[in-house]
Structure 1
Amino acid sequence: MGRPLRSEQVDRDEVSIVHAVQRCVRRAFLAGVDQATGKDYGFRREWIRRRMEALASVFGIDVLSYAVMSNHMHLILRNRPDVVGAWTDQEVAIRWLKVFPGRRMEEHLGEPTENEVQMLVSDRERLAEVRRRLSDISWFMRSLSEPIARMANRQDECTGRFWEGRFKLQRITDEAGLLACAMYVDLNPVRAAMAESPDQSVHTSGYDRIKGEQGQEIDSAAFDLVPVTTEQAGEERRTTPVDELREKKRAKGKNPTGKRIRRDGWLAPLTLDESTLSSDAQPNQAGVRASDKGFLGISLKDYVELLRWTAKQSEEGAGREIPPSLQGLVSRLGIDLSMWRDLVWNFQRYFGNSCCAGSPSGMSQFAESSGRNWVRGHRKVAECFAA
């Protein structure tokens, strides 16, 4: 049975959560030390993280979790057409032009102007399409992957394909699947023996949240969502040499807004506020992420504690007994306490060939909604849930 079409997995007019994986072609290295050549590409990790952070400030996409590995990256994303629907036409236009300015000539290195924003706003058909794209996960991944591929090819002094193909998409059907997937993503460096604990797993959402809670701040990579005046842009382009324009744009890219934020400030908050309506968009007002809506029914403190405990269960059969203080977090989702470690550490065994991830009932509902009788992994994952 083939993988469902993306239109069957994600309705871009409805809020959905997905696990996306993008892998490099052949033996190309995204980041880390290439064992074949000995070259260290570790510096790319922060560039990739900052690109994700920048896109999170303009797209109607919540970044829930992520991990940048040596030859692939994981992201858990939630599309937010409800948030994009609340933006004004001017907001939609400037956000789009920041990522896709539509200029290719070097003399046009300036910021989008008020005139360009107004031109897009006046094109109603084009603006409607742009509004849809800003909450489209495929467009978010395209905006993330293409610049990385160009940069890597330029540094490797080669041409051709860098990614093995389109990113893999997996629908998350419920909170049980989301909690297991989030921890699987955050523990990727530990599973790969790149780090001993989540506290050392740099360039993962788990690490960012731990450091953010400790008060660590970083220069914000969020786009400056203010267009320049047409007169100012014209004067700058007439009087400033191209090299200076290029250098100015590069310098501004390091901190476009001049602000500092918590290390995890660009990620979606972890804890879902149950007092708010499920349909409440909660758009972010600071311009660093799409919304302030959480995604799990547990506190960050409990999540980190469970993450650290799960990270220590690296040996098969070791420490299967979940501490009593954490058992309620797992059992309320219907997960067998003795199978929690296995569900997270062997996430790929249960869901690797499936188009979705979640509890047996959640996977069954997804199969029905996509016109199927069943989905791969349904029977196997049932072993991890209480009868």
Structure 2
Amino acid sequence: MPQPRQSQVSLIDTPYYHCVSRCVRRSFLCGVDTYSGQSYEHRRAWVEDRLLMLSSVFAIDICAYAVMSNHTHVVVCVDKDKAEHWLIDEVLRRYHKLHKGTLLTQKYLRGEELSPGERITFEETVEVYRARLYEISWFMRNLNEYIAREANKEDGCTGRFWEGRFKSQALLDESAVLACMAYVDLNPIRAKMESTPETSKHTSIKKRTQAVKSKKRQPRQLMPFVGNPRQNMLKGIAFCLKDYCELVESTGRCIREDKAGYITPEHSPILTRLGLSDEQWLTLTTEFEKHFCYAAGAELMMKEFKRHTKHQRLRGMGRANVLFKRA
């Protein structure tokens, strides 16, 4: 039975979420439809471009993404504090990039004076817009509705393109975040669409590996890796980008039957810090969605999430005790 969104998102517990959207019936997001022989590969760029554009509008950072043949994965980090510190003009500037707003917000942006009564309504509207700009549902809505319209226009049809709702999983600790990011980045390899992470088109890992190889700055559209925890560190993922890319590469080799590969302790400082064994890591990065539904993380964190979201039962509690138990 579908759960209300407020029972799936709890910013008290974590700002990190894994969202999955799937196409209905035989609809193809991209790739080649083996039934009709028609190629939809160009739609990958639609999704990637829209996703990265939305990250510049919303107070939501993208940690990882992968565009597959009939579904998309994205790991996001909600920055509510950032949105709450935006001035009115900044809220409206961002919101009006996607929506027309109201007559009052348009009037304000034209520099026209508002009456006291209009001002009250206007300020209430601004707060509604502010909340939307850090809400995952609005982020995914602006992604999926746009893609659905473009796909239906191209196909010359109407009706649903996506399933009714996107799936959301709360990532409750750093182990869950890193494992889910790797799970998303390795999707094309598990599906045998690609042979290596750095050649996986329209994925976050390709952008990150390109940055490592070229020794340039990290992709500005993605949440950066900021190195090991320290005082006065920048906002970002508290691991080294090079370590993450190497770990994903070695994990990908383990997953592919035609590739010889293994994870050695000296090449996996991330696993050492997380306290996860190779077996735990491989299970998480190949079966993440299989074992967890609305949330993933250490058992204690899942119990807190369950209490805050008022779930009577939370699938995956038993597996959390095994998969996130420190080796």
User: What is the TM-score with the length of structure 1 in the denominator?
Assistant: 0.74
Structure 1 residue 371, shift from structure 2 partner: 3.3
**Which letter maps to 2:263?**
I
Task: Mark the CA change 1:322 to 1:186 in structure 2 (over 3 Å): closer, same or farther.
Answer: same
**Which letter maps to 1:347?**
F
Which residue number in structure 1 is paired with residue 222 of structure 2? 267
Which residue number in structure 1 is paired with residue 59 of structure 2? 60
Separation of aligned partners in 1, 2:195 and 2:255? 10
Separation of aligned partners in 2, 1:117 and 1:34? 51
* Preserved CA contact (<8 Å) 2:299 2:320: yes
Structure 1 residue 335, shift from structure 2 partner: 2.0
Residue of 267, 288, 296 corresponding to 1:347: 288
SS in structure 2 of the partner of residue 313 of structure 1: helix
* Preserved CA contact (<8 Å) 2:239 2:270: yes
* Contiguous gaps of at least 5 residues in structure 2: none
Task: Mark the CA change 1:115 to 1:382 in structure 2 (over 3 Å): closer, same or farther.
Answer: closer
Task: Mark the CA change 1:24 to 1:58 in structure 2 (over 3 Å): closer, same or farther.
Answer: same
CA RMSD of aligned residues (A): 2.8
Residue 199 of structure 2 corresponds to residue 200 of structure 1:
yes
Structure 1 residue 7, shift from structure 2 partner: 1.4
Separation of aligned partners in 1, 2:70 and 2:231? 39
Which residue number in structure 1 is paired with residue 6 of structure 2? 7
* Preserved CA contact (<8 Å) 2:31 2:69: yes
Render the CA deviation track for 1:67-94: whole Å, top value 9, x for unaligned: 1111000011111110111211101111
* Preserved CA contact (<8 Å) 1:271 1:299: yes
User: What is the TM-score with the length of structure 2 in the denominator?
Assistant: 0.87
SS in structure 2 of the partner of residue 342 of structure 1: helix
Structure 1 residue 102, shift from structure 2 partner: 4.8
* Contiguous gaps of at least 5 residues in structure 1: 104-111, 218-261, 279-291
Which residue number in structure 1 is paired with residue 32 of structure 2? 33
* Preserved CA contact (<8 Å) 2:228 2:239: no
Separation of aligned partners in 2, 1:118 and 1:198? 52
Separation of aligned partners in 1, 2:130 and 2:160? 29
* Preserved CA contact (<8 Å) 1:12 1:136: no
Separation of aligned partners in 1, 2:79 and 2:180? 20
Structure 1 residue 44, shift from structure 2 partner: 1.0
Render the CA deviation track for 1:307-353: whole Å, top value 9, x for unaligned: 0000001258x9785212234421432323333212211223322xx
Residue 235 of structure 2 corresponds to residue 293 of structure 1:
yes
Which residue number in structure 2 is paired with residue 176 of structure 1? 175
* Preserved CA contact (<8 Å) 1:190 1:196: yes
Residue 305 of structure 2 corresponds to residue 369 of structure 1:
no
* Preserved CA contact (<8 Å) 2:29 2:40: yes
SS in structure 2 of the partner of residue 37 of structure 1: coil
Which residue number in structure 2 is paired with residue 226 of structure 1? none
SS in structure 2 of the partner of residue 380 of structure 1: helix
Task: Mark the CA change 1:321 to 1:197 in structure 2 (over 3 Å): closer, same or farther.
Answer: closer
* Preserved CA contact (<8 Å) 2:227 2:241: no
* Preserved CA contact (<8 Å) 1:327 1:337: no
* Preserved CA contact (<8 Å) 2:31 2:39: yes
Aligned positions of 1:146-157 closer than 5 A: 146-157=145-156
Task: Mark the CA change 1:204 to 1:5 in structure 2 (over 3 Å): closer, same or farther.
Answer: same
Which residue number in structure 2 is paired with residue 209 of structure 1? 208
Separation of aligned partners in 1, 2:86 and 2:295? 31
Task: Mark the CA change 1:4 to 1:271 in structure 2 (over 3 Å): closer, same or farther.
Answer: farther
